[in-house]
Amino acid sequence: MKKVIITGALGQIGSELVERLRKDLGSDNVIATDIRELDDNPVVTDGIFEVLDVLDKDKMLELAKKYQVDTMIHLASLLSAVAENKPQVAWHLNMGGLINALETSRELQLKMFMPSSIAAFGPSTPRDGTPQVTIQRPNTMYGVTKVAGELLCDYYHTKFGVDTRGVRFPGLISYKTLPGGGTTDYAVDIYYEAIKTGHYDSFIAAGTKMDMMYIPDAIDAIVNLMNADGEKLIHRNAYNITAMSFDPDELAAAIKKEMPDFTLGYNVDPARQKIADSWPNWIDASDAKEEWGFKPKYDIDAMTKDMLEHLKVKLGKS
């Protein structure tokens, strides 16, 4: 991975990955793209940025050729809750964007990364210690596009020899860019509200455990997987990865250690709760550990300390 094009670069993962890769590879070797342009965002102002709608295959190919990239990191997609509200749009964007990224990678022989998700599992999947290879019958449109995406990436690898790689991300927690439209977003919102008001009403019910990860570990996972020895990758397109699993009460308890007056209430959103109920409690990441050394650094307490410190500064409450 020497020169990279990134789609969806203004999103939660993209904005942090761009910053990291500009440091690792040099600013001229990171081509950030997104469907929108935000004039005051460092992704746009601090390096190469191009407007790209991932459904525009010609432009995607043209940009990849123009900058002579060797790697495609395809992040643009709709998340679970938004996708459930507009399933046809989600199918069109998530699958249309992916096939364009795969075709561009095939034509130019690029290495390619696609994020899958814990959403690739469904109600009939074993919920505890969910294995790497198991039943995948998701009942959400987002999950359907993730399973189809995993299979399509496998297909492009075996049929055309494209070096496709990917992980199943859990909920990602970060303070720089909001996730926007996911089921696990409560675990980000809670920190903002803790600082702003000292109270949060969770849209996910008590007792609902989901896998989570702090964004620095997610960024390390992408970089490490893309730099790993391809010969060792058996499950190349959809590694289970996770750093922790908790329910809203457990997260609130971690916040209370830093902010003893914080209180948690509940205002459950039935639509997002239904999605959460279809996902595992915790997944088994041992294949990622064995095959390419996945090793998250942050647990719930370390993440909470760091999140609160940074958000206090961001929100002017330090």
Residues annotated as catalytic (active site), given as ranges = 142
Residue closer to ligand AKB by CB (options 47, 280) is: 280
Q: Which stretch binds ligand AKB (CB under 6 A): 1-9, 16-24, 102-110, 179-187?
A: 179-187
Asked if 130 contacts 80 with a C-beta cutoff of 8 angstroms, the reply is no
Contact string (CB under 6 A) for ligand AKB, positions 95-134, x = contact: ----------------------xxx---------------
Q: Looking at the DSSP assignment, which residues form a beta bridge with residue 5? A: 31, 72
- Beta-carbon contacts of 278 under 8 Å, excluding residues fewer than 6 positions away, are 121, 122, 123, 138, 139, 140, 143
What is the distance in angstroms between the CA of the first residue and the CA of the last residue of the chain? 39
Q: If binding means CB under 6 A, how many residues of this protein chain bind ligand AKB?
A: 13
- CB-CB neighbours of 269 under 10 Å: 16
* Shortest CB 271 distance to ligand AKB, Å: 12
CB of 64 to ligand AKB, least distance (A): 26
CB of 146 to ligand AKB, least distance (A): 8
280 lines the binding site for ligand AKB (CB under 6 A)? no
Closest CB to ligand AKB among 117 and 278?
A: 117
Q: Measured from the CB atom, is 11 or 47 closer to ligand AKB?
A: 11
Report the nearest approach of ligand AKB to the CB of residue 101 (Å). Answer: 18
* 182 near ligand AKB (CB under 6 A): yes
Instruction: Report strand pairing: 30-34 vs 4-7.
Output: parallel
Examine residue 294 and tell whether it contacts ligand AKB (CB under 6 A). no
Instruction: Work out whether strand 244-246 and strand 210-214 pair parallel, antiparallel, or are unpaired.
Output: antiparallel
Give the x/- contact pattern for ligand AKB in 54-93, rule: CB under 6 A: -------------------------xx-------------
Helices (H), the chain: 12-25, 42-45, 57-66, 80-85, 87-108, 141-160, 186-196, 215-227, 248-258, 270-277, 286-292, 300-314
Q: Is 96:35 a contact under the CB 8 Å cutoff?
A: no
Please state the separation of Cα 76 from the chain's center in Å.
10
Binds ligand AKB (CB under 6 A): choice among 104, 105, 183, 242: 183
Phi, psi torsion values for 172, nearest 5 degrees? -110, 135
Nearer to ligand AKB, 71 or 184 (CB): 184
Q: Is 171 in the site for ligand AKB (CB under 6 A)?
A: yes
Closest residue to bound ligand AKB by CB: 182
Distance CA 162, CA 150 (A): 13
Count Cβ atoms within 10 A of the Cβ of residue 197 and give its class: 0-12 exposed, 13-18 middle, 19 or more buried.
exposed
Q: Of the listed pieces 180-188, 196-204, 231-239, 258-266, which binds ligand AKB according to CB under 6 A?
A: 180-188
Site string for ligand AKB, 151-170 (x = CB under 6 A): ------------------xx
Please identify, using beta-carbon distances, which residue of 31 and 141 lies nearer to ligand AKB.
141
If 0-12 CB within 10 Å is exposed, 13-18 middle and 19+ buried, where does residue 28 land?
A: exposed
CA 263 to CA 259: how far, in whole Å?
9
Q: Which residues bind ligand AKB (CB under 6 A)?
A: 79-80, 117-119, 142, 169-171, 179, 182-184
